Amino acid sequence: MFKLTPFNSSPRKRDGFVDFYDMFDDFFQSSPLRSLRHDTFKIDVEENTDSYKVVADLPGIERDDLKVSYDENTLTIAIEKTVENENKDEDKHYIHKERHSTSMKRSLYLPNLDPQAIDAKLENGVLTLEAKKQEVQNHTTLIDVK
């Protein structure tokens, strides 16, 4: 709750609400939820001989907030979520009201996946993707040099 005031900054007028707001600012700045703005979700990738398994921790994310795509050997998991508390009470006059919006994206280079054989499930905030590999065809051609 203590803050340093730079020498070139004018001190704020101290009233009863400043300390109240400072308490909330300090709480949210030290909260682990605050770091999600600059952090991304955690992913585990397991490679087997014939498949990949990807597990992503996505707490609080619903299926509608999630987009998974595979293009040019890159698997992309994208999240976009907005939470806004809507109050219908007309008698309240807000002086402070907040909304929360989160957008995160992770891309993984996973070559030789069969796009038709990717199975994705979201359960209890954990996304599990299982993807089978395609057989790599040898495109080597010997060229006769003359």
Domain definitions of the chain by residue range: 40-85+100-133
Q: Which helix (H) or strand (E) holds 11?
A: none
pLDDT at position 93: 75
Give me the sign of the Cα torsion angle 11, 17, 19, 22. Answer: negative
pLDDT at position 127: 95
pLDDT band at residue 34 using 50, 70 and 90 as cut-offs: very low
pLDDT band at residue 20 using 50, 70 and 90 as cut-offs: low
Please give the model's pTM, rounded to 2 decimal places: 0.61
Mean pLDDT on 4-33: 51
Residue of 143 and 64 predicted with greater confidence: 64
State yes or no: pLDDT of 23 exceeds 60: no
State yes or no: pLDDT of 15 exceeds 80: no
pLDDT at position 32: 46
Average model confidence (pLDDT) across the chain: 76
State yes or no: pLDDT of 31 exceeds 80: no
pLDDT at position 67: 94
Give the full edge-to-edge strand order of the sheet including 66-71: 66-71, 74-84, 99-109
Considering the domain 40-85+100-133 in this protein, what is its CATH number? 2.60.40.790
pLDDT at position 13: 53
Q: CA angle, corner 22, sides to 17 and 24, nearest 5?
A: 100
For residues 82 and 38, give the distance between their C-alpha atoms in angstroms, rounded to a whole number.
16
For residues 41 and 4, give the distance between their C-alpha atoms in angstroms, rounded to a whole number.
32
